Amino acid sequence: VGAPHLLRPPVRFQAESPFDYAARAEVLVVTDVKRGDIPALSNAYGRLIEAAGGGTLGLFTAIRRLRGVHARIADRLARAGLPLMAQHVDPIDTGTLVDIFRDDPHASLLGTDALRDGVDVPGHSLRLVVMEGVPWPKPTVLHAARRLAGGGSAYDDRIVRARMAQAFGRLIRSADDRGVFVLLSAATPSRLLDAFPPGVPIARVPLDEAIARVASRLSSHAALGHEAAPAP
């Protein structure tokens, strides 16, 4: 599509990322956590946070599920020396929650799309992102109109890719960062996985394997000048 209102065609510029995403991160799609099963979801979040020793940003598509998971695992993680905070649970504004999360590499934070869009935590304090499900757009009247004008299901796919890419982008904020992105949704369509940078390893794995991979990738990072969290 041209731009007849411009005197000259627009100049386009694209720069390569300075980060080696393929070496520094991986994406795991967990295949055996049933959608909407709060006990199974809580078990997955709790074990993944333990495997990472904290440093986890947990993202939810529904506040009810966020609260349900937090209620089931917060005490258990606290006893292991892994504080767990949550948007819509803790009576603290989001900015303060993020500051506390940033300052404690053993802490983890649960939240919704406001955290996906607004968290900037470079370094060791954020090393694992766990998404509870594919972030599909909510079916509002406004969304229906935009979907109709934007190409139907292709419009939805563009939104989801952008949201997943944004969440993944929380992990690698400096050249020394290392992290794992976990999606707890076996039904994630393969066509959406190009949301992640080229070369990043992507695997569909059961939860036990995902936990082993998180521990393996992040344990060596935790040893680089950071005391490991106490065992449960």
Q: Would you state the pLDDT for residue 74? A: 97
Give domain limits for the chain: 21-222
- Distance, in Å, from the CA atom of 13 to the CA atom of 41, rounded to the nearest integer, reads 42
pLDDT tens digits, one per residue of 80-104: 999 999 999 988 888 888 889 989 9
Summarize the confidence of residues 24-46 as an average pLDDT: 94
- Distance, in Å, from the CA atom of 3 to the CA atom of 168, rounded to the nearest integer, reads 33
Q: Name the pTM for this structure.
A: 0.83
DSSP element (H, E) containing 108: strand 108-111
DSSP string computed for 116-176: HHH----STT--EEEESS--PPP--HHHHHHHHHHTTHHHHHHHHHHHHHHHHTTT--STT
List, in sequence order, every residue forming a beta bridge with 57; answer none if it has no partner: 109, 129
- Distance, in Å, from the CA atom of 155 to the CA atom of 92, rounded to the nearest integer, reads 35
- Distance, in Å, from the CA atom of 49 to the CA atom of 194, rounded to the nearest integer, reads 26
Structure token digits, residue 2: 């041209």
Superfamily of domain 21-222: P-loop containing nucleotide triphosphate hydrolases (3.40.50.300)
Summarize the confidence of residues 150-173 as an average pLDDT: 87
- Within 13 Å, how many C-alpha atoms sit on residue 140's CB side? 5
Q: Would you state the pLDDT for residue 6? A: 61
More confident residue, 198 or 140: 198
